[in-house]
């Protein structure tokens, strides 16, 4: 006799669900939509127990998520900088404009909910990110050690500049042609052509895209 033909005990409708049943059902739905996280909205559509019941039982919905061994998928009041940084991380990881379903898996650390609340849709979120990235944001000055003077811009590359350089180089290593779009897992770096230690500036003309292998093998000797 197959498992599908065996008698199985079902929970009587409206009977109180145990903590174990709630956790098991949250984990079941998470397995359908995302392996490590699930939103209140997704569970309300697919769960067999009302999410409000889970929230009341554990204190809050997020506490129920943690009890199920998952990460919080609907953090609120996330800054635009963090939302854009997550988009940038996905764009760089895949080497192309990320689709909304990529938010359900690493390296994304933010689910769709915060983007929908802030921008109404994923398309609008991408549009706002591109406008932000393409705007000319000046780098803060960084004091030169030992001289007290300031070099403009600083050594670190801003999110805006990083995106423009990667986009300009088509998310492809300029040394060997490696790209995450062609070889998933390829890690890209934005590197100074003329090293910072030799007076190189952090401007687009002095920056290039290199894969991790090429960048680690590159010397800063002129």
- Position 149 scores a pLDDT of 45
The domain containing residue 110 runs over which residues? 80-134
Q: Is residue 166 part of a domain?
A: yes
HSE value, Cβ hemisphere, 13 Å, CA-based, for 176: 17
Residues 95 and 119 in one domain: yes
Residues 47 and 23 in one domain: yes
Residues 162 and 211 in one domain: yes
Q: Is residue 5 part of a domain?
A: no
Q: Is residue 121 part of a domain?
A: yes
Q: Is residue 3 part of a domain?
A: no
pLDDT, one tens digit for every residue, the chain (222 residues): 445 555 544 554 555 788 999 999 998 988 887 667 777 777 878 888 887 788 788 877 778 888 888 876 555 678 898 899 989 999 999 999 999 988 877 788 788 888 988 999 999 999 999 999 888 654 444 444 444 444 445 778 888 899 999 999 999 999 999 999 999 889 999 999 999 888 899 999 999 999 999 998 765 555
Cβ distance 209 to 172 under 8 Å? yes
Residues 54 and 94 in one domain: no
Residues 86 and 61 in one domain: no
- Position 180 scores a pLDDT of 94
The sign one gets for the Cα dihedral 126, 131, 136, 140 is negative
Residues 59 and 86 in one domain: no
Residues 48 and 99 in one domain: no
Beta strands in the chain, from DSSP E residues, in sequence order: 37-38, 71-72, 142-143, 150-151, 188-192, 207-211
Number of folded domains that form the chain: 3
| pLDDT (tens digit per residue) in 38-47 | 777 778 788 8
Q: Is residue 105 part of a domain?
A: yes
CA-to-CA distance for 83 and 53, rounded, in angstroms? Answer: 30
Q: Is residue 1 part of a domain?
A: no
Q: Is residue 171 part of a domain?
A: yes
What is the full DSSP assignment across 20-63?
Answer: HHHHHHHHHHHHHH-SSEE-HHHHHHH-SS-HHHHHHHHSSHHH
- Position 1 scores a pLDDT of 44
Residues 66 and 84 in one domain: no
Element (H, E) at 91: helix 80-94
Considering only CA atoms, which of 157, 219, 152 is closest in space to residue 189? 157
**If you compute the radius of gyration of the chain from its CA atoms, what whole number of angstroms results?**
24
Query: Model's pTM, two decimal places?
Result: 0.59
Q: Is residue 195 part of a domain?
A: yes
């Amino acid at each position: 006799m197959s498992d599908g033909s065996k008698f199985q005990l079902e929970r009587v409708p409206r009977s109180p669900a145990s903590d174990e049943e709630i956790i098991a059902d949250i984990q079941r739905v998470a397995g359908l939509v995302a392996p490590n996280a699930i939103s209140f909205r997704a569970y309300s559509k697919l769960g067999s127990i009302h999410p409000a019941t889970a929230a009341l039982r554990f204190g809050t919905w997020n506490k129920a998520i943690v009890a199920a061994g998952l990460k919080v998928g609907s953090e609120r009041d996330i800054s635009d900088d963090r939302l854009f940084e997550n988009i940038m991380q996905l764009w760089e990881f895949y080497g192309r404009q990320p689709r909304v379903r990529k938010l359900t898996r690493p390296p994304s650390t933010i689910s769709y909910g915060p983007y929908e609340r802030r921008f109404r849709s994923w398309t609008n979120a991408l549009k706002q990110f591109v406008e932000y990235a393409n705007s000319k944001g000046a780098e803060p000055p960084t004091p030169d050690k030992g001289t007290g003077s300031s070099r403009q811009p600083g050594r670190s590359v801003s999110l805006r500049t990083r995106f423009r350089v990667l986009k300009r180089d088509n998310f492809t290593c300029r040394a060997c042609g490696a790209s995450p779009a062609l070889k998933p897992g390829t890690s890209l770096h934005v590197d100074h052509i003329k090293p910072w230690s030799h007076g190189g500036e952090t401007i687009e003309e002095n920056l290039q895209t290199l894969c991790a292998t090429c960048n680690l093998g590159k010397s800063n000797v002129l």
